[in-house]
Amino acid sequence: MRMMPAFVRVGMTALGAAWGGLAGAAEEARQGEVPLWPEVREQTFNAVWQTVNDSYFDATFGGVDWAAVGEKYRRHLPEADDKEALRHLLRAMLGELRKTHFSILPREMSVFTPAERSRAGTVGLAVVCVGHEIAVEDVVPGSPAAEAGIGPGDVILAVDGLELAGLRPWLEKLDATPARRDLYLTGLVSSHLQGSVGSSVRLQLRPAHDAERSVELKFTDHAGEWTEPMGSLPSVPIHVIGRCEPDGLAYLRFNVFARPVMKDFRALVRQVPADGGMVIDLRGNSGGLTVMASGLSGWLSDHSFSLGAMHLREGHMGFTVTPQSGAFLGPVAVLIDSGSASTSEILAAGLQEAGRARIFGETSPGAALPSLFKALPTGDLLQHAIADLQTPHGQLIEGGGVKPDEVVARSLDDLAAGRDPVLEAARRWIESTRHKPAVPPADSR
Amino acid sequence: MKTKAGLTSHGWRRLAVTALVTVILAGALPAQQPDSRTPEPPEERQAREVLGRWIEAIGGGTQIKGLQTAFIQCKIDYGSGLPAVDLLVRGAPGLYRMEYTTPAFGTLIQAFDGLTAWQYNEVLGFGFQTTQEHNFNLVMTDFHAPLRLGSRYPYRRLLPKETIDGRQLQPVQLRTAGGREEKWYFDPATGYRVRAELPGPSAASPVVLEFEDFRPVSGALVKEPYRTIRREGDRKTTVTMQVVLYNESMDMGLFSAPAGPTEDNRQLQALFRRNAYLRASLDQVKTRVTDQVVRITTSGLEIPTRVYQKRPNLLAVVQDTPGVGKAWQGYDGKIGWAWNEVEGYREMQGAELQQMLGGADLEGPLKLSAACPFRRLLEEKLENGRTLVGVALASMKGVEGNFYFDQQTAELVRVETFVQTGANGQLKVTAEFSDYRMVDGLLMPHLVTVTNPAMRMETRVRSVEHNVPIDDAIFAPKKDQ
């Protein structure tokens, strides 16, 4: 019998709540004077290097000589005259690991209180990568984007003067999958589409049925629900669409795995008839609380199974699904694309391998390292991966991504016409399946 | 600790012992003389005659009395692909040494030199046996037990003959003074005991033993069954004697406990005993409510936590984690459970449940010594002006961890171990205990710092209240929130 006191165990629950989300790049931050800058700079550099050194999940650092990397970048430390220069230096150092979920987030762009939400205003449009181009997926009615006449299917050519086509050659050189490159590009544009309320962003657009044009959009307040900050993990807006249609099809789409989503999901499970079907749309969902993957899955099963395990440097933690009373046992389709990262990939891969869901869409980016956030002496935040993730069949999601059972992609014309062939494919499959007995997971009993 | 085939180290040893005891005791039953002052019922007399014939068949009381040393080598095969255990037994009157060996686990030695009942495994280390283990081993290796049959089975009765597997056998019912009943079957032709039915772990699954292949033993005029098959439900275990030698010369030094580890253990026992003064204060504690804050320093997260404990081992832990919400864990005396807003409800099993029960027990710290009989003294450490005594503790279940105590105060300072995380997880952690304060006569750490491969956590105890009335409902599983 283990004699470790309760408080040792208690803290472990928090580790299980590691963040599996991609923070995404933030826009240029205003630079501020920091007292005793050389000291703060030195402490920040040390904190970043040491944290990674202590917690990186692979003791061999994947062949990277982390000590040598530290020395290499330390030599350039005196050149970092301000926070932004230091961020560039630290990001470059973290980039040597060639893994996702290592980033430096400017404190100025992070939201921890309702008052700070004005730092992350919106122009009211969501983007998606279609055929390696960044296109408008959705426009919020009445938003600055809607008022500017922007519509789904419009292609974004440049943002704040940064021509996206010019980034492609640089992205091609990265040791990354096409889906990962699409994710970088989508994340970059998305970060520019968020800014201080009152400031603006300039977009160069190629509308679906019109000539190229340039528009300037002012950021407005992000109405709606936000996640609760979790220690050093900032708050982000939540978008949830949950509906149960008259034909018994439940549809859930959300942008982040956060606690409030569970409430909507449970409500949906209660609404959907036993002979209905369910679509979980994870397109554009960059992740969130990792434990939510098993939490959601518990409402989709009448038996326990594994979604995979995160492997730390010394130890591991499994994502074990525990069936919940009143779970929905009918057919489940999961939609993914190059924007479905991290916890989205854990959920999709786990349900796919367990035979509990059929996956539709495009290959995910393979960016699924559970991570934590740490406040640095500069006030910025370090996101650092603490574990690698393996599916129950032993596949590493990082780098490889989740491959759909049915590959279906949207075109620019689909977006412009309001068609969603991915959702339609999922609907067809559900309709063909829902009146048959659910297939039990292949190897998880 | 698990063997490669998934059988716990504790498990294979227990099975090995159970199988062996049936073999050795097979030759350990005396032909007791009846008490001439009371008339002997006919069925008891008939039973005594059957038992007496058996004793004669395997060599006779005189030969058994003449056994002075024993050397037995056997193999225990569990079937089902589990690794076989090699067992070597050396015995002399009042002394024993048994060596259990599997390829995955190495060798476990249990021995008694007349003074110290000790045990050793190269992974687990050195330790003392529990009284229960030692008594069991003594009985198992008591080659003169046949002379004490009367005290072991005061009640014996002949039963009507039965036909089993085509053979007509003579059963005898035996009962110990404690009420344990056994049924032995004898071959009328040879007099050998060929079958025994013993109580199993449950009434539904009795243990059946079959004794075969009787052969004379070198060095003594006795016979032993060289093969014993043990059946319990679907499980079948075969014990095959490979070498049996009685009355060979024997190195008595093999029974002796190694001097260094024995002395180390005595010092550690003394260290543990210094905490015994807690006993009286702890006896007064019926419930405990602890308010604490878990601060994950590496993530800037603060988790207010309240822990409810009630004798004997009821537990409820309530947490409110920013971003995750409310979380409960508990044990109501039957079910270990956990619930949180994100993951829902689940029941704990296996190692995770055991860990929770360990934490739930108000007397846990006092039970540490008994729960971990294997101890290996580590190098002393000088830290912040104090000397730390380190000891690697282990039980039959495996390595528990490295525990460091302040040599002067006997306070637990640090634990290096693995903890269960969730239903399927294990992490290496180091826990530092400090800021000891006296609460109702109990010295309790008020700051615990835990580091694991991913983060650092501090638990600061805000308050401890004893003997607060706690409604048992708080420990009940919370499935619907």
- Could you read off the pLDDT of A5-61 as tens digits, one per residue? 333 333 334 444 455 555 443 333 334 444 689 999 999 999 999 999 999 999 899
Distance from CA of B359 to the nearest CA of A (A): 5
Set of chain B residues whose Cβ sits within 8 Å of the Cβ of A59 = none
Locate the chain B residue with the closest alpha carbon to A293: B343
Confidence of residue A72 (pLDDT cuts 50, 70, 90): very high
HEC letters along chain B = CECCCCCEHHHHHHHHHHHHHHHHHHHCCCCCCCCCCCCCCHHHHHHHHHHHHHHHHCCCHHHHHCCCCEEEEEEEECCCCCCCEEEEEEEECCEEEEEEEECCCEEEEEEECCCCEEEEECCCEEEECCHHHHHHHHHHCCCCHHHHHHHHCCEEEECCCEEECCEEEEEEEEECCCCCEEEEEECCCCCCEEEEEEEEEECCEEEEEEEEEEEECECCCCEEEEEEEEEECCEEEEEEEEEEEECCCCCHHHHCCCHHHHHHHHHHHHHHHHHHHHHHHHHCCCEEEEEEEEEECCCCEEEEEEEEEECCCEEEEEEEECCCEEEEEEECCCCEEEEECCCEEEECCHHHHHHHHHHHCCCHHHHHHHHCCEEEECCCEEECCEEEEEEEEEECCEEEEEEEEECCCCCEEEEEEEEECCCCEEEEEEEEEEEEEEECCEEEEEEEEEECCCCEEEEEEEEEEECCCCCHHHHCCCCCC
What pLDDT is recorded for position A21? 54
Q: Which long-range contacts (CB under 8 A, 24 or more apart) does A144-152 make?
A: A144/A217, A144/A218, A144/A219, A144/A220, A145/A217, A148/A215, A148/A217, A149/A215, A150/A125, A150/A203, A150/A205, A150/A207, A150/A215, A151/A207, A151/A208, A151/A416, A152/A208, A152/A415, A152/A416, A152/A418
What pLDDT is recorded for position B269? 77
Q: Which long-range contacts (CB under 8 A, 24 or more apart) does B401-410 make?
A: B402/B378, B403/B368, B404/B378, B405/B271, B407/B380, B409/B436, B410/B271, B410/B274, B410/B275
Interface contact A47, partner B, CB < 8 A: no
Set of chain B residues whose Cβ sits within 8 Å of the Cβ of A325 = 345, 479-480
Of the candidates A258, A289, A312, the beta carbon closest to that of B454 is on A312
Burial status of residue B234 (CB atoms within 10 A of its CB: 0-12, 13-18, 19 or more): exposed
What pLDDT is recorded for position A438? 52
Locate the chain B residue with the closest alpha carbon to A379: B300
What pLDDT is recorded for position A4? 38
Confidence of residue B219 (pLDDT cuts 50, 70, 90): low
Confidence of residue A425 (pLDDT cuts 50, 70, 90): very high
- Please give the span between the terminal C-alpha atoms of chain A, in angstroms, as a whole number: 28
pTM above 0.80, yes or no: no
Locate the chain A residue with the closest alpha carbon to B346: A322
- Three-state DSSP at A36 gives coil
* pLDDT tens readout for residues A343-371: 999 999 999 999 999 999 999 999 988 88
Set of chain A residues whose Cβ sits within 8 Å of the Cβ of B340 = 13
Distance from CA of A374 to the nearest CA of B (A): 5
Set of chain A residues whose Cβ sits within 8 Å of the Cβ of B351 = 2
CB contact under 8 Å between A318 and B424, yes or no, is yes
For B138, the token pair is 């003594």
List the one residue out of A347, A294, A302, A299 whose CA is nearest residue A321: A294
Burial status of residue A165 (CB atoms within 10 A of its CB: 0-12, 13-18, 19 or more): exposed
CA atoms lying within 13 Å on the CB side of residue A186: 30
What pLDDT is recorded for position B163? 95
DSSP code string of A143-185: SHHHHTT--TTPEEEEETTEESGGGHHHHHHSSS-HHHHHHHH
Distance from CA of B410 to the nearest CA of A (A): 17
Q: How far apart are the C-alpha atoms of B228 and B234, rounded to whole Å?
A: 16
Note the residue count of chain A: 445
Interface contact A53, partner B, CB < 8 A: no
Interface contact A379, partner B, CB < 8 A: no
Beta bridge partners of B448: B433, B459
Kindly report whether the peptide bond that precedes residue B312 is cis, defined as omega within 30 degrees of 0.
yes
What pLDDT is recorded for position A168? 81
Distance from CA of A3 to the nearest CA of B (A): 5
What is the dihedral angle through the alpha carbons of A368, A332, A289, A104, rounded to the nearest 10 degrees? Answer: 40
Interface contact A260, partner B, CB < 8 A: no
Q: Residue type for B412, please?
A: L
The size of the A-B interface in CB pairs under 8 A is 221
- Please give the span between the terminal C-alpha atoms of chain B, in angstroms, as a whole number: 37
- Residue burial B104-133, b: 16+ Cβ < 10 Å; e: rest: ebeebbbbbbeebbbbbbeebbbbbbeeeb
Set of chain A residues whose Cβ sits within 8 Å of the Cβ of B420 = 2, 9
List the one residue out of B100, B98, B97, B96 whose CA is nearest residue B15: B100
Set of chain A residues whose Cβ sits within 8 Å of the Cβ of B299 = 14, 230-233, 372-374
What pLDDT is recorded for position B145? 73
- Rounded (5°) CA angle B369-B371-B375: 55
pLDDT of residue B32 exceeding 80, the answer is: no
What pLDDT is recorded for position A440? 55
Beta bridge partners of B118: B111, B128
pLDDT of residue B1 exceeding 50, the answer is: no
CB contact under 8 Å between B459 and A11, yes or no, is yes
Residue A91: count of CB within 10 angstroms of its CB:
14
* pLDDT tens readout for residues A78-134: 999 999 999 999 999 999 998 888 999 888 888 989 999 998 999 999 999 998 899
pLDDT of residue A170 exceeding 70, the answer is: yes
Return residues 336-375 of A near B (CB < 8 Å).
372-375
Return residues 10-29 of A near B (CB < 8 Å).
10-18
Q: What is the mean pLDDT of the segment spanning A392-421?
A: 94
List the one residue out of A320, A312, A378, A314 whose CA is nearest residue A346: A320
pLDDT of residue B123 exceeding 90, the answer is: no
Q: How far apart are the C-alpha atoms of B415 and B229, rounded to whole Å?
A: 44
Could you tell me if A239 and A255 are in contact, meaning their C-beta atoms sit under 8 angstroms apart? Answer: yes
Q: Token pair 């910025």 is at which residue?
A: A380
Distance from CA of A16 to the nearest CA of B (A): 8
CB contact under 8 Å between B298 and A7, yes or no, is no
Q: How many helices and strands (H and E) does chain A possess?
A: 12, 20
Type and span of the H or E element at A217: strand A213-218
Determine how β-strand A305-312 pairs with β-strand A388-390.
Answer: antiparallel
Type and span of the H or E element at A424: helix A421-433
Locate the chain B residue with the closest alpha carbon to A7: B459
Of the candidates B359, B422, B455, the beta carbon closest to that of A4 is on B359
Q: How far apart are the C-alpha atoms of A203 and A213, rounded to whole Å?
A: 8
List the one residue out of B361, B306, B305 whose CA is nearest residue B333: B361
Highest mean pLDDT among A47-61, B31-45, B411-425: A47-61
Q: How far apart are the C-alpha atoms of A373 and A27, rounded to whole Å?
A: 19
Interface contact A326, partner B, CB < 8 A: no
Q: How far apart are the C-alpha atoms of B419 and A348, rounded to whole Å?
A: 29
CA dihedral for A269, A275, A276, A277, sign (positive or negative): positive
Residue B103: count of CB within 10 angstroms of its CB:
12
What pLDDT is recorded for position B392? 87
Low-confidence winner among A235-249, A328-342, B111-125, B306-320 (lowest mean pLDDT)? B111-125
List the one residue out of B364, B367, B314, B431 whose CA is nearest residue A7: B431
Give backbone dihedrals phi and psi of A75, rounded to 5 degrees, phi first.
-60, -30
* pLDDT tens readout for residues B80-104: 777 889 999 999 988 999 999 987 7
CB contact under 8 Å between B421 and A315, yes or no, is yes
List the one residue out of A351, A354, A339 whose CA is nearest residue A282: A339
- Three-state DSSP at A37 gives helix
